[in-house]
């Protein structure tokens, strides 16, 4: 560890990094991957880089601090009573956590990190086959819409009226397809009643 007050190696506090437009997400990722440093009650620097209980507690405090700042920042958009600038006042805890310049993590690398696959939006293939349950749900919805529109799904001319409605929508469906679906409605309704 370098000296705490080395002029050639300035302290990069969370406050200074946030002011220089390093995102909360990037800082959180940096803390999780590389740890963070702070000062104890005597002014000695403590590195929280390991997995011991003390390191975990320091990292957790820094992450909680960032989470609180992030919440205030976003709440301030809708609530004028919240002042996110209070986080940058002289006695803010954001100044107590950080890294000396020569020991700071690569923020650019953490900023470009990909979104985990589990959090990536999943694209659904609209033409993919649907399960029986989903199909029955769709048929139930069609039946309820027919009911609201005054179309008796099993009556003569129902498929023609629905065909005309699809044409008005600009997405025409042929009469035969509509008739096939309308014939399946009674079974779908019966399966949902059970």
User: Span 65-92, mean pLDDT?
Assistant: 75
Q: Please give the distance of CA 24 from its chain centroid, rounded to a whole number.
A: 14
Check residue 102 and report its DSSP letter: G
The pLDDT of residue 188: 86
Give pLDDT, residue 134. 85
The region, left, alpha or beta by phi > 0 then psi within -120 to 50, assigned to residue 99 is beta
CA distance 120 to 117: 5
Least confident of 1-5, 102-106, 118-122, 151-155: 1-5
Q: What pLDDT score was predicted for residue 3?
A: 45
Taking the C-alpha atoms of residue 14 and residue 88, their distance in angstroms, rounded to an integer, is 10
Supply the DSSP symbol for 121.
P
Q: pLDDT tens for residues 5-47?
A: 567 788 899 998 988 888 888 899 999 988 999 988 888 888 8
Give the per-residue pLDDT at 150.
92
Please name the residue that has the structure tokens 């993919």. Answer: 128
What pLDDT digit, counting tens, does each position of 116-152 carry?
A: 555 555 556 677 788 888 888 899 999 999 999 899 9
State the Rg of the chain over Cα.
Answer: 30
Quote the pTM value.
0.52
Tokens of 1: 């560890």
Structure tokens at 179: 């008739």
With contact defined as beta carbons under 8 Å apart, do 185 and 151 qualify? Answer: no
Return d(Cα 20, Cα 4) in angstroms, integer. Answer: 21
| Residue tagged 């399966």 (tokens) | 191
């Amino acid at each position: 560890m370098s000296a705490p007050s080395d002029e050639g190696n300035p302290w990069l506090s969370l406050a200074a990094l946030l002011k220089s437009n390093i995102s909360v997400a990037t800082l959180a990722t940096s803390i999780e991957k590389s740890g963070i440093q702070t000062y104890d009650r005597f002014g000695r620097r403590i590195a929280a880089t390991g997995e011991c209980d003390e390191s975990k507690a320091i990292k957790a405090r820094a992450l909680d601090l960032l989470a609180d700042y992030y919440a205030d920042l976003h709440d301030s958009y809708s609530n004028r009573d919240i002042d996110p600038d209070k986080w940058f006042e002289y006695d803010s805890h954001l100044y107590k956590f950080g890294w000396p310049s020569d020991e700071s993590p690569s923020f650019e690398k953490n900023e470009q990190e990909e979104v985990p696959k589990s959090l990536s939006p999943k694209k659904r293939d609209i033409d993919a086959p649907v399960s029986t349950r989903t199909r029955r749900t769709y048929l139930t919805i069609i039946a309820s819409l027919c009911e609201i529109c005054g179309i008796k799904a099993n009556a003569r001319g129902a498929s023609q009226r629905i065909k005309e409605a699809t044409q008005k929508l600009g997405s025409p469906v042929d009469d035969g397809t509509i008739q096939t679906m309308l014939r399946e409605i009674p079974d779908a309704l019966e399966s949902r009643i059970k």
